[in-house]
């Protein structure tokens, strides 16, 4: 088997790529009356020879620039005084990313270049942005290298993964009047601007009315409550097509990954989470991103979802190493080194996935990825 060129779509399922049509609606008032009209206005100035996937990639690059700037300015502490210019830059680039995210689909329809590959790349880049921009957001909320940082990343990660399954089972994506793609993304961007205006210190202030918890802790609890309120409606849609047991079963992989990382943070013999939280966030974020990509690929190719991905073995190694350290006082493999190694593998595995999906689908449909297909 050629591991570099790996086919994620079975040969007999490639035929479904040619008949796939994206179905979806967005009922968001913010999207329909502000974001979409603005994107339509911008579309007038986008040349017809610009490929939709190019716009998708430009959006991702905007967030990568923010991520690199945050890393070199703020380091790995995920807290501290953030320069105003960095927060404003992140806010502006975040909003530009949002516009690119709305433009790519419009350009695809305008040039008659819609394809399953475009949908997969769009979904997958959006899921990557949760991990990449998420670390910046963690710093913005002054979470530090603590369990709060991990919990904050969990807030958008699990809903995104579940909604990907909703599209898989229902064969369409219908976003409600208030949703994460519009209001949620604008909210995240706006918080960078709010922090630029008022500073970041208020996130660590105690709130006597809420059991003396810090403001960022209360905010994360509220985020979880909002997410928990919306998820039953998603599962209700899914259960119109498959039993609830099957819908829940499909969530086991990411649930297991999250529980393992939570266990490592809480029970690490060397308190590795306080030193290598970035690696933990990368592992979780890019694991989710590839898992979302797999769901999207299997959706457009009409394949049955796998019970788990091979990356699950990395989490077994991580869990075993932590338990070994608890029992014998020292982990079998130095915990920080193991986390960094798994983080690197997770990123490379994701890049491998993107390369092969792009290669296989573009060859099967005889399309160019970053050029207009006439």
pTM: 0.95
**Could you give the 3-state DSSP secondary structure of residue 214?**
strand
Query: What's the chain's average pLDDT?
Result: 94
Q: How far apart are CA 307 and CA 317, in angstroms?
A: 19
- Summarised one tens digit per residue, pLDDT across range 85-105 is 999 999 999 999 999 999 999
- Summarised one tens digit per residue, pLDDT across range 118-145 is 999 999 999 999 989 999 999 999 999 9
Q: Can you give the pLDDT at residue 165?
A: 95
Q: Can you give the pLDDT at residue 308?
A: 87
Average confidence (pLDDT) over 218-241: 93
How do beta strands 173-175 and 24-26 pair?
Answer: parallel
**Could you give the 3-state DSSP secondary structure of residue 26?**
strand
Q: How far apart are CA 231 and CA 224, in angstroms?
A: 11
Q: Is the pLDDT of residue 374 over 80?
A: no
**Could you give the 3-state DSSP secondary structure of residue 174?**
strand
Q: Can you give the pLDDT at residue 4?
A: 84
Q: Residue 355's closest CA among 117, 88, 40?
A: 117
Average confidence (pLDDT) over 241-250: 93
Q: Can you give the pLDDT at residue 32?
A: 96
Q: Residue 142's closest CA among 79, 192, 205?
A: 79
Q: Is the pLDDT of residue 2 over 70?
A: no
Average confidence (pLDDT) over 265-274: 95
- Summarised one tens digit per residue, pLDDT across range 356-372 is 999 999 999 999 999 98
**Could you give the 3-state DSSP secondary structure of residue 146?**
coil
Q: How far apart are CA 285 and CA 130, in angstroms?
A: 7
- Summarised one tens digit per residue, pLDDT across range 160-183 is 999 999 999 999 999 999 998 899
The token duo for 219 is 């905010």
- Summarised one tens digit per residue, pLDDT across range 19-64 is 999 898 999 999 999 999 999 999 999 999 999 999 999 999 999 9
Q: Kindly list the distances between the CA atom of residue 127 and the CA atoms of 44, 204, 275, in Å, as whole numbers in the listed order.
A: 28, 28, 25
Q: Residue 119's closest CA among 185, 5, 20?
A: 20
- Summarised one tens digit per residue, pLDDT across range 247-258 is 999 999 999 999
Q: Is the pLDDT of residue 1 over 70?
A: no
Q: Can you give the pLDDT at residue 184?
A: 92
């Amino acid at each position: 088997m050629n591991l570099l060129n790996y086919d994620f779509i079975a040969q007999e399922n490639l035929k479904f790529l040619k008949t796939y049509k994206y179905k979806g609606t967005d009922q968001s008032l913010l999207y329909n009356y502000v974001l979409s009209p603005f994107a339509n206005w911008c579309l007038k100035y986008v040349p017809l020879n610009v490929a939709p996937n190019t716009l998708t990639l430009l959006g991702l690059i905007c967030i990568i620039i923010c991520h690199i700037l945050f890393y070199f300015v703020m380091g790995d502490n995920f807290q501290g005084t953030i320069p105003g210019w960095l927060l404003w830059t992140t806010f502006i680039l975040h909003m530009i990313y949002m516009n690119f995210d709305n433009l790519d689909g419009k350009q695809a329809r305008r040039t008659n270049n819609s394809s399953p590959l475009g949908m997969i790349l769009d979904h997958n880049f959006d899921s990557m942005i949760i991990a990449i921009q998420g670390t910046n957001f963690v710093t913005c909320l002054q979470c530090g290298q603590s369990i709060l940082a991990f919990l904050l990343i969990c807030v958008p990660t699990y809903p995104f993964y579940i909604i990907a399954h909703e599209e898989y089972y229902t064969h369409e994506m219908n976003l409600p009047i208030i949703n994460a793609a519009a209001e949620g993304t604008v909210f995240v961007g706006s918080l960078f601007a709010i922090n630029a205006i008022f500073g970041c210190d208020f996130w660590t202030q105690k709130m006597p009315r809420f059991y003396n918890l810090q403001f960022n802790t209360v905010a994360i609890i509220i985020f979880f409550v909002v997410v928990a309120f919306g998820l039953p409606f998603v599962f209700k849609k899914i259960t119109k097509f498959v039993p609830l047991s099957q819908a829940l079963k499909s969530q086991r992989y990411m649930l297991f990954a999250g529980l393992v990382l939570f266990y490592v943070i809480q029970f690490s013999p060397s308190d590795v989470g306080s030193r290598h939280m970035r690696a933990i966030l990368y592992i979780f974020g890019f694991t989710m991103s590839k898992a979302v990509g797999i769901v999207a690929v299997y959706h457009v190719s009409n394949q049955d979802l796998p019970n788990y991905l091979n990356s699950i073995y990395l989490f077994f190694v991580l869990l075993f190493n932590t338990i070994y350290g608890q029992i014998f006082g020292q982990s079998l493999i130095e915990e920080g080194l193991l986390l960094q190694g798994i983080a690197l593998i997770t990123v490379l595995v994701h890049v491998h996935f993107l390369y092969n999906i792009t290669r296989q689908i573009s060859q099967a449909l005889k399309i160019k990825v970053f050029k207009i297909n006439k």
